[in-house]
Amino acid sequence: MSNKPTYEELQREVRALEKEAYERQRADNALLESTRRLQVAYDQAIVYAKELRGEITEHKRADEALQEASHFLDKRVEGRTAELSEAVLLLEREIAERGRAEEALQESETRLKTVLDTVQAGIVVVDPETHAIVGVNAAAGKMFGAPREQILGRLCHECFCTSGQGQCPVTDLGESLENAEQELVTVDGRRVPILKTVVSVTLNSREHLLESFLDIAKRKRAEEALWESEKLVYTHEKRMEVLKFANDVALKLMHELRNPLVAVGGFSKLICSKDYPEDKLREYAKIIMEQAKRLDKAINDVLVHLKAGAEEL
């Protein structure tokens, strides 16, 4: 009996070999593809390595620049820190100086307030923009008849009846007030005559109006009393002048009228006592007429004198 394979066995063996060849071909193809991919990956790795080397170089340069910048920044920080420390010292000194200045200012303001409160003249400080009273001393409060808390914030034209709102002589009309006679309105509405002076001052870096005033009510009353007394003296003097003038007129009239009246009376008696010749009567009548003219002239002179005297009085 022969050991030769049969046809079916040969076919199976051929198919097995074909399948093995096919599998090997596929494996070869896969190996080639894998080889190609490995080559591509290798090439990419080479490129990436070059790029990575460049990046590393750039990173090194950046690190060196960063270190240099950090060193420079450290130097700048040290400099700025020194400057800041010096500035802090200066600021501390300035704060200390300002504190001492504020203490000195407060002390000065206290002294000024004490001085103003001891001054007998009334003093108020006015804001020129709002015309509100922002400061007042004790004498002014006494004149107003109210504590300073009730005076602060009031408008100046409500307290000093010089003009209405918008007609301030200093800020609106550009006038100056120095020893000007005005009136102060108290809280109860009384009007007190005052002598006021207004000057411009700088307080807390702002311009203000400092108004000082004196109560001159007693002086006004004294002036009115003096005026009344002078009027009485003047009236008395005029009355004495009138009496003296009347006495002078009477004396002059008596002097001017006596002689003519005596002559007229004497010659009238002569005419009436007995019969005289006509020429004698004419002579006596002429004398009487002359004396009558003299009397008329004397009366006219007296009238003129009286008129002139009345015009002088």
DSSP symbols for 221-286: HHHHHHHHHHHHHHHHHHHHHHHHHHHHHHHHHHHHHHHHHHHHHHHHHHHHHS---HHHHHHHHH
In this structure, what is the dihedral angle of CA atoms 234, 235, 239, 242, given to the nearest 10 degrees? 70
Judged by DSSP in three states, 197 sits in: strand
Query: Does residue 126 share a domain with residue 100?
Result: no
Query: Does residue 97 share a domain with residue 56?
Result: yes
Quote the pLDDT of residue 122: 85
Query: Does residue 88 share a domain with residue 145?
Result: no
Sorted by sequence, the CB contacts under 8 Å of residue 66 that are 6+ apart come out as none
In this structure, are residues 188 and 145 in contact, taking their beta carbons and an 8 Å threshold?
A: yes
Query: Does residue 82 share a domain with residue 170?
Result: no
Quote the pLDDT of residue 109: 60
Sorted by sequence, the CB contacts under 8 Å of residue 152 that are 6+ apart come out as 133, 134, 135, 136
Distance CA 112, CA 108 (A): 6
Quote the pLDDT of residue 261: 63
Domains identified in the chain, total number: 3
Query: Does residue 97 share a domain with residue 140?
Result: no
* Residue at which a domain ends, from 81, 114, 147: 114
Query: Does residue 128 share a domain with residue 107?
Result: no
Query: Does residue 124 share a domain with residue 109?
Result: no
Distance CA 179, CA 193 (A): 12
Structure tokens at 207: 């311009």
Quote the pLDDT of residue 260: 67
* Residue at which a domain ends, from 163, 193, 215: 215
Query: Does residue 177 share a domain with residue 144?
Result: yes
Q: What is the pLDDT of residues 89-102, one digit of tens each?
A: 888 888 888 887 77
Extended beta strands in 84-147, E state? 122-126, 133-136
Query: Does residue 56 share a domain with residue 12?
Result: yes
Which structural domain, as residue segments, surrounds residue 90?
1-114
Q: Which portions of the chain are predicted below pLDDT 70?
A: 1-3, 104-119, 161-166, 172, 174, 242-243, 245-247, 249-265, 267-276, 281, 305-313
Quote the pLDDT of residue 111: 64
| Side-chain half-sphere CA neighbours of 263 within 13 A | 18
The pTM assigned to this predicted structure is 0.42
**Residue 265, domain CATH:** 1.10.287.130
**Residue 186, domain CATH:** 3.30.450.20
* Residue at which a domain ends, from 77, 96, 114: 114
Query: Does residue 182 share a domain with residue 267?
Result: no
Quote the pLDDT of residue 89: 81
